[in-house]
Amino acid sequence: DLHSFPTRRSSDLYSSADVQTGRAGDYQVRDTAIHVTMSPSEALFKERCAYNLTQGFRPRVLVPEDFLVAATQLARNADLEERVAVQSIEGFVGTNIEEVAVFGKREIRSQLRNLLEVYNERIEMAEADVSLKIEIPENL
């Protein structure tokens, strides 16, 4: 259920907020620390992900598809390529929607609509700029 997925507040900015809030990453799900970034950096891997590993977390870095090669190289440079999962945001979200929908076309549309509705609800709750909301297509 998407409503039960951990919520970030708009005041929880960048990775410095992880330390202040006691979370291992932008999102923490059981023993997985999920870092979501539009622009991966060396510090993310050498500091945050390395620290996650010392604390028993499984770090996962999600980046836009266009930054996947760069993020993978940064993980390699930090000697963490085998210990940190690097994945595109698009691939992560798409795969998870298909899994939740048990790979059925009708259910995929339903789950995608649900994702967009929850996203829009969270924008209304946490953001001053409601133009970040996504218009939901009628065919969902």
pLDDT along the chain (140 residues), means of 10: 50 45 85 95 97 97 97 98 97 92 88 92 89 90
Q: Is the dihedral of CA 26, 44, 54, 60 positive or negative?
A: positive
**For position 11, what pLDDT does the model report?**
39
**For position 15, what pLDDT does the model report?**
42
Q: In this structure, are residues 84 and 62 in contact, taking their beta carbons and an 8 Å threshold?
A: no
**For position 139, what pLDDT does the model report?**
87
DSSP class of 114: H
**For position 106, what pLDDT does the model report?**
87
Written as one letter, the residue type at 106 is R
Using alpha carbons, list the distances in angstroms from residue 10 to 19, 73, 110, 123. 16, 30, 27, 9
**For position 105, what pLDDT does the model report?**
86
